[in-house]
Amino acid sequence: MKSLVTGGAGFIGSHLVDELLALGHEVSILDNFSTGRLENLAHVADRVRVHECDLGVTGAWADEFSEVDWVFHLAALADIVPSIQDPRTYFQSNVDGTFNALYASHHAAVRRFVYVASSSSYGMPDMFPTPETARMQPLYPYALTKYLGEQLVMHWAQVYGLPALSLRFFNVYGPRSRTSGSYGAVFGVFLAQKLADKPFTVVGDGNQTRDFTYISDIVAALLAAAESSHSNRAYNVGSGSTVSVNQLVDLLGGEKVFIPKRPGEPDCTFADISRICSEIDWQPRVSIEKGVEKILENIQYWRAAPVWTPDTIADATRDWFRYLGNNELP
């Protein structure tokens, strides 16, 4: 079997590469290293083919799709504030890049195409757990581009018969999650603060809940999707439960300080995973307690990560409040 992973040097992609190699696959990786790191692949460098390229621009990289069985399209720009500040780059990466990957996959007649979508496209849902049929209401360019990418995937499956699925990930965490760049996911922020013996910066009152999903469960879902016979379907991928940010702080251990609640952030993320559990052979296996234990065993990975403070967070999220402060959908 031959698999191609776009964004294979990133957090999720590199873990997927590990599992594909363990299954005996020949693995090719396309990555522009805007967020991916060669260090994530150092332990398998002699076993993978890595091509540095920008999927948002057509090029010779499309030749890498030849004779590929499975394509996993993970390459994307993430983060909220940068997407607000530079939407053009996000559309080129996340929408044009997905179009180009689909075009190359179709012409190479790949056997499976698995797209990584985002639960952020649900916006502020009013159904919990949130099913795939819930209204999509992206509130910022990153969420919009991920939803548009999913629509392209469904269109290619419907019109061109490309065997393709989309997985909507909820709050992924685990080793190798990004340690640099803009202010982002709570785990990376908290772990760097813990290493620096600084208080955890808790947004709002900390009672908001999140569907934290451990990386090994995410990779298992990707592989199960590739092995399934379904197409033109979207699936939520979550842990099957939620935990409050205050509970997460208790598990990590440490002091906390509260910072202002941000507009456009839901009070709860909670995936209804009944569809993927019933249609695809997948179940989440890692509890939040076990996941945090694994994270703390690898905490030194975040030693070089920026240590965010209330002041630096306020500065980094200024445009967040500026553009999303009055963002209410009808």
Tell me, yes or no, whether 314 lies in a domain: yes
- Helix H or strand E encompassing 108: helix 97-108
Residue 181: which pLDDT band, with cuts at 50, 70 and 90?
A: low
Same domain, 161 and 244: no
> What is d(CA 284, CA 282) in angstroms, rounded to the nearest whole number?
7
C-alpha count within 13 angstroms, C-beta hemisphere, residue 274: 7
Neighbouring CB atoms inside 10 A of 63's CB total: 10
Report the DSSP pairing between strands 26-31 and 2-6: parallel
Same domain, 248 and 106: no
Contact indicator for 209, 243 with CB cutoff of 8 Å = yes
Same domain, 73 and 181: no
Minimum mean pLDDT range among 105-109, 183-187, 224-228: 183-187
- The SS3 assignment for 147 reads helix
Same domain, 141 and 244: no
- The SS3 assignment for 150 reads helix
- Helix H or strand E encompassing 258: strand 256-259
CATH number at residue 262: 3.90.25.10
Same domain, 77 and 110: yes
> What is d(CA 65, CA 41) in angstroms, rounded to the nearest whole number?
20
Q: Which domain holds residue 260?
A: 174-211+240-270+285-320
* pTM score: 0.97
* Residue 88 CB contacts under 8 Å (≥ 6 apart), including other chains: none
> What is d(CA 6, CA 203) in angstroms, rounded to the nearest whole number?
33
Tell me, yes or no, whether 275 lies in a domain: no
pLDDT in tens, 151-161: 999 999 999 99
Give me the pLDDT at residue 183, please.
Answer: 77
Sign of CA dihedral 230, 236, 237, 239: negative
Same domain, 248 and 137: no
- The DSSP call for residue 95 is I
Same domain, 40 and 162: yes
Contact indicator for 165, 231 with CB cutoff of 8 Å = yes
Q: Is residue 45 over pLDDT 50?
A: yes
Q: Which region holds residue 246: left if phi is over 0, alpha if psi is between -120 and 50, else beta?
A: alpha
pLDDT in tens, 84-111: 999 999 999 999 999 999 999 999 999 9
Same domain, 140 and 11: yes
Q: Is residue 70 over pLDDT 50?
A: yes
Instruction: Supply the mean pLDDT for the chain.
Output: 95
- The SS3 assignment for 98 reads helix
Give me the pLDDT at residue 329, please.
Answer: 38
Q: How far, in Å, are 131, 154, 165, 177, 200 from residue 237 at the CA level?
A: 11, 17, 12, 18, 27
Tell me, yes or no, whether 325 lies in a domain: no
* Residues marked as catalytic: 142
Q: How many helices and strands in the chain, by DSSP H and E?
A: 12, 13
Q: Is residue 310 over pLDDT 70?
A: yes
Tell me, yes or no, whether 330 lies in a domain: no
